[in-house]
Structure 1
Amino acid sequence: YTYFIVHYHYPGKSSTTGVDTTFTDFIRLNFSPEVTQINSIQNKNDQLLIPRETETYIKSPAGVNTEIVFPFSQISKKLQSQALNQANLKIYAVPDDQTNLKFKLSPPNYLLLINKDSLNGFFERRKMPDNITSFYASFNKTEYSYDFSNIAALINHYKEANNGEIPDLTYYLVPVDITFTTQSYYYGQTYQIPTNFYNLMTPSAVTLSKAFEDFNLKMIFSEF
C-alpha cells in the first residue's frame, strides 16, 4: 500500500496556561488501487546524475536509479564451453560519514534488480521478481551492503534465449517497498515471503561504491 504523510504546525494558545504556543500535527493520506489518483513528484537530481568514477546514487521517491551494464558478451565463449554454477552479486554502500551529501537520508531497505526493458509496467501490473530475470536484495546494516546472492539463473536464461550468444545486459537498481506474509513450517518455525512490490515513496538515499572490490559479480564455472 501507499500513504502520504503531511506534517504541519500552527500557532495558538495553550488550553491549560493560555500562553501563546505552536501546535504540531500531521495528516495521513492513504491510497489504494480502488482510489483514482494522480501522483506527481518532482526532484532536483542534476548533481546526482553527473557520472562519477568512484560512486553512484539511488534516491526515492521518483528520484535516481542506478544503471548497471553487465558485459556478458566478453565471456560469451567461456559460457559456451563451461557450465556456470554461481554468479554472486554483492554491492556495498558508502557509509554516511564518508559521503558529501548535504542531507543524510536512510538507505532504502530493499533494492530491485530488473532489466531496463522490463521496468515499464512492472509496478502497474503488480509483478513480482521471478528470481530468473529479476531479483531483490535487502539492506544489510552491519556490512552496509545489498546481497543479491546467486544470479546465475539470469545469465543462463539469456544464454539459452540467445542460442548461447549472451549479449550485454542493461539493468536498473530500483528502491522498492515490500509487503510480506508470514508462514510457518510444520515444526513451528516461521518465515516470510513477499506478496507485493511497490515503488518506494518514503524519502531515502544511498551512495553505492563503484570500487572494484565493492561492486563486482563473482562467478564460478565448472568444465563440461
Structure 2
Amino acid sequence: MKSLVSQLGALLLGCLVLGACDQEDKLSRIGESIQSPRDKVDSELHRLQFEASSVKAESVYSSGSTTSLLGEISDPLYGDFHGEFVARLRTAPRFKFAREPLGGKIDSVKLMLGYERSIGDVNSEMKLSIYEVKGLGTMAYSTTPEALEQYRKPENLIGEKHLNISSNSFWRHYSARDSVLTIALPIDTKVGQRIYDLSKEKPYLFDTQESFDKDVLGSLLVTPTTGRGNVLQVVSTALVIYYTYTPDKAEREKAKGDKAKKPVATEAFISTKLTGHINALSNPYSDVLLVPSDEYFYIKQPAGVIGAIELKKEQMARLLKGKAKINIGSDWSLADAQMQIDVKNPKDLLLNPPSYMLLIPKDSVTSFFAKGLTERSRAATSYLSSRYSVSARFYNFSNIARLVTEHLKHHARYSREAGWSVDRDLELRLVPVDREITRNGEHVQTIGLNEFLFPSFVRMDKRPEKLQLEVVSSQFSQ
C-alpha cells in the first residue's frame, strides 16, 4: 500500500514539474468546484518581452502653463542647461487704479517671480535682465534662446539686477494658507507711470489683450545675463506697481500715531494660463542620449528626451496562439501584469530623477496633456508610476494588463485559415510628470498631471531580462 502511495506521489510531482517547464504555463481551471460547467475559466501564464529606447519627444510642454525655467547650470556628465522665458501679462477691461497716486506719480515698479524649487548652488551670484518686447506674434510654447536674441536690445531693457538667490528670496503670501518663495526685480518706474497715465487718458486700451499688448505693455523677456550655477522653476510672474496716496478719514484716524507715513497701495498685472507663455530652453549635447545602447535608455528634461517602450506584434500574437475566435475583453482578457523599470544612474550626477512617470500610448501623449487628463480619467490606457525613491530606485506600474488588452481589442485579427495575428506593435511613451494631488484622510487622489518642467535625468536598465513581463490570461468557457 505504501509503495502504491509513493508511486502515485512521484507521478503527481513529475506532472507538476513538466507542466511548469512549458513556455506558456497552463494554470489549473480556476474555481472548478464552485462554477457551473458552462462558466469555467482557463488561465495561462505568459511571458512578454518588451523593448526600450530613448527618443526625442514630438512636442515638449503643452501650452497653457505659467511654469518657466530661469538660470544656467553645468552638468559635467550630461551637458549644460540654459533657461529663460517670455511672459504676457493679463489686462483688465476698463482698468483703473484703486486709489489716486499722490501728485499723479508712481513710486516704484517690481517684477515678482515666485518659484517652487531650484537646482544648483543657491548661493551663487547671477544677473537677471528684463526686456519689454512687442511684435512677437504667434510663437510656439517652447523655443530656443537664439530665437529671442533679436529682442535683447538695449532700448528694450527695462530692468536688471545682480542677486544671490538665497539672500534675495522671501516668502510672498497670497492668503493665510498660500505662499511662495519670491525674488523681486526692479523695473524702470517709467513703465508704471505709462500704465497709470494711459489708464486715465485712454482706458479703452485695456479692453482687449491685443490693444494692451500693443499700446500699454509688451511681453516681458526675463533672461539670465551672467552667472552659472542655479536654475529656478518659476511658477508665477507679476508686475507690481507701488504708489502712495492721500488717505481717507478712516485711514487718517487709524494712522494718528504715524502722521508722517503715507499709505502705500499696489496694482498688479499677472501672467495667467490664458495669456500664454514662451519657454526658451537650451540643452546642448542631449543628442548623445539618443544613440542606441544595449544596457540603458535615458530620459532627460527639459531636453525632450523621453522613453519609448515597445511590445512587438509577434509577442502579442503568441498570447492568442491556437485559440478559436473569441471576443477579446469579455470572453478573454489579461490580468496581473506588473511592470517595474529599474534606475541605474551614475554617481556624482547633478540632476535627479523625476518623482513620477506616465506610461501612455505614443499617439495619446499630445491630447492627454492638452485636455488636462489624468490616469484616472483615462484609466484603460494611461498608467502613473509609483513615486520614485532613492532607497528603492525604480518606477513601478501596478498593472498594465488592460493596456495590452485594449490594444488587442483594436489590432488583433482572426481568420479561419491562419488563426490569430496582430497588425500593429504596441508603442508606448514614458514621460516625466508633475502630480497635483488632494488628500482625504489617508486617501490621496490625483487632480492634475503636467509635463515635468525641471532639469532632471534618469538612466534606466533595458537589458532583456529586466523588461520581461509575466501576465496571466483568462478565458471564460461556455
| TM-score normalised by length of structure 1 | 0.79
Aligned to 1:35: 275
Change (3 A) 1:10 1:56: closer
Given that 1:96 and 1:104 are in contact with CA atoms closer than 8 Å, whether structure 2 keeps it comes out as: no
Q: Which residue, 360, 363, 370 being the options, matches 1:124?
A: 370
In proportion to residue count, which structure has more helix? Answer: 2
* Paired residue secondary structure (2:291): coil
Deviation at 1:110, TM superposition (A): 0.5
> Could you say which residue in structure 2 is the equivalent of 1:85?
335
**Which has the higher relative contact order, 1 or 2, with Cα contacts under 8 A spaced 6 or more apart?**
1
CA-based RMSD:
2.7
Partners of 2:306 and 2:317 lie apart in 1 by 28
3-state secondary structure, aligned to 1:122: helix
Query: 1:94 corresponds to which residue?
Result: 344
Partner of 2:339: helix, strand, or coil?
A: strand
Runs ≥4 residues deviating over 6 A: none
Structure 1 residue 208: Cα displacement: 0.2
- Inter-CA distance 93–10: structure 2 relative to 1 (3 Å threshold): closer
Q: CA deviation at 1:217?
A: 2.1
Matched-pair contact (CA < 8 Å) for 1:92–1:215: no
* More deviation, 68-77/158-167: 158-167
| Partner SS for 1:206 | strand
Question: In the alignment, what sits opposite 2:356?
Answer: 110
Q: What is the rounded CA distance, in whole Å, between the counterparts of 2:429 and 2:337 in structure 1?
A: 17
Among candidates 258, 274, 298, match of residue 57 of structure 1? 298
Task: Rate the CA distance shift 1:93–1:170 in 2: closer, same or farther, 3 A.
Answer: same
1:137-216 equivalent positions in 2, closer than 5 A = 137=385, 138-163=387-412, 165-166=421-422, 167-184=424-441, 190-216=442-468
Point out where structure 2 has 5 or more consecutive residues left out of the alignment.
1-64, 72-121, 128-161, 170-182, 184-233, 237-270, 324-331, 414-420
| Closer/same/farther in 2, CA of residues 156 and 29 from structure 1, 3 Å limit | closer
**Matched residues, percent identical?**
29
Cα separation, 1, equivalents of 2:308 and 2:475: 32
Give the SS at the match of 1:161: helix
The reply on whether 1:9 has 2:125 as its aligned counterpart is yes
Amino acid at match of 1:54: E
Q: Deviations over 1:56-108 (max 9, x none)?
A: 000111431011111143232423636422222111010433xxxx8431111
Between the aligned partners of 2:272 and 2:456, the Cα distance in structure 1 is 22
Does residue 24 of structure 1 match 2:273?
Answer: no
Change (3 A) 1:83 1:123: closer
Output one character per residue of 1:24-81: Cα deviation in whole Å (capped at 9) or x when no partner: 1363451642332122323221111111111000011143101111114323242363
**TM-aligned CA distance change 1:41 to 1:75, over 3 Å:** same
| Structure with max Cα Rg | 2
| d(CA) in 2 for partners of 1:178, 1:72 | 32
Change (3 A) 1:47 1:34: same
Q: Residues 186-206 of structure 1: CA distance to partner in whole angstroms, max 9, x if unpaired?
A: xxxx21111111111111100
Judging by fraction of residues, say which structure has more strand.
1
Output the CA distance in 2 between the equivalents of 1:72 and 1:217: 15
Deviation digits for residues 139-176 of structure 1, max 9, x if unmatched?
13322111112111111112222355543111111111
Equivalenced residues, count: 205
Distance 1:144 1:63 in 2: 22
Query: 2: CA distance between counterparts of 1:58 and 1:47?
Result: 12
Distance 1:177 1:108 in 2: 8
Distance 1:60 1:10 in 2: 22
Among residues 307, 315, 338, which one is paired with 1:66 in the alignment? 307
Distance 1:154 1:10, change over 3 A: closer
